[in-house]
Amino acid sequence: MYDYNYFSVFYKRLPDLLETLYEHVIISGIAILLGCIIAIPIGIFLSWTSIRWIKSTILNITNVFQTIPTLALLAMLLPLFGIGMKPAIVALFLYSLMPIMKNTYAGFESIDSEIIQSAEGMGYSPLQRLLQIEIPLAVPYIMSGIRLTTVYIVSWAVLAGLIGGGGLGQLIVTGMGLNDQPLIIAASVFSMILVLITDFLLGTVEKLFSRKGQPEKQNV
């Protein structure tokens, strides 16, 4: 048995914790950013198209990624991208597609058809209608999807440490290999705090957009 001084170990490991925390944020941030860039336009497209087989095909493809266990997907990506951040980012990006896309689709589907007809009667072009009416009204739904997805991605990013992808998971894996309990606890606490802070910040942004979107819905 070892008499660990948790505070001294934490202090000594603080530079490593901050470095891996930065890597964790980068991995999660890139995955979410790519997910938003791809999933939001697809969600908008699904709300516009009336071709059912296109909708079902896209939804089924993105849903497949949700059914694959995280470790299995990481292992499948290793031959393509090697060990490191790339397979972790790609895997997390694929996991982010479905919830962001579905919330975007739901947001656009929730818009009252009378609002769209009124905008068309006022001479709005499709682009003006999209930017000035549809997106502002759908933003609360979109932000809800981004918030939920980001919390999951930040949590799942811990598994990147298993394939040498960096992040706080790397310290957890190292601590397990060395039987270093203070290191494991410190890295785990950092990851939990990061998830809570992320959820709080995105929750605040979501409420802000919800307040802004509600008056516009009444005035249009």
Three-state SS sequence of the chain: CCCCCHHHHHHHHHHHHHHHHHHHHHHHHHHHHHHHHHHHHHHHHHHHCCCHHHHHHHHHHHHHHHHCCHHHHHHHHHHHHCCCHHHHHHHHHHHHHHHHHHHHHHHHHCCCHHHHHHHHHCCCCHHHHHHHHHHHHHHHHHHHHHHHHHHHHHHHHHHHHHHCCCCHHHHHHHHHHHCCHHHHHHHHHHHHHHHHHHHHHHHHHHHHHHHHHHHHHHHC
| C-alpha distance from residue 175 to each of 70, 77, 111, 122, 154 (Å) | 21, 25, 50, 64, 20
Q: Is the domain 6-219 a CATH 1.10.3720.10 member?
A: yes
pLDDT tier at 49, thresholds 50, 70, 90: confident
Whether 151 has a pLDDT exceeding 50, the answer reads yes
What pTM did the predictor assign? 0.85
Whether 2 has a pLDDT exceeding 80, the answer reads no
Greater pLDDT, 136 or 7: 136
Q: Where are the domains of the chain?
A: 6-219
pLDDT tier at 219, thresholds 50, 70, 90: very low
All residues at 6 or more sequence positions from 212 whose CB lies less than 8 Å from its CB, including other chains: 136, 139
Whether 152 has a pLDDT exceeding 60, the answer reads yes
All residues at 6 or more sequence positions from 24 whose CB lies less than 8 Å from its CB, including other chains: 154, 157, 158, 160, 166, 167, 168, 169, 191, 194
**pLDDT at res. 220:** 39
Mean pLDDT of the chain: 85
Per-residue pLDDT reduced to its tens digit, 53-110: 888 899 888 888 888 888 888 888 888 888 888 999 999 999 999 999 999 999 999 8
What is the pLDDT averaged over residues 175-179?
85
**pLDDT at res. 11:** 74
**pLDDT at res. 142:** 93
Whether 156 has a pLDDT exceeding 60, the answer reads yes
Whether 169 has a pLDDT exceeding 70, the answer reads yes
All residues at 6 or more sequence positions from 205 whose CB lies less than 8 Å from its CB, including other chains: 143, 147
Amino acid at 208: L
Whether 43 has a pLDDT exceeding 60, the answer reads yes
Per-residue pLDDT reduced to its tens digit, 199-215: 999 988 888 877 665 54
Considering only CA atoms, which of 102, 185, 194 is closest in space to residue 141?
Answer: 102
What is the pLDDT averaged over residues 20-49?
94
What is the pLDDT averaged over residues 44-54?
87
Greater pLDDT, 20 or 163: 20
Per-residue pLDDT reduced to its tens digit, 12-32: 778 888 999 999 999 999 999
**pLDDT at res. 6:** 63
Sequence-separated contacts (24+) of 200-205 with Cβ below 8 Å: 202/143, 202/146, 202/147, 202/150, 202/151, 203/147, 205/143, 205/147
Q: Are 112 and 125 in contact (CB under 8 A)?
A: no
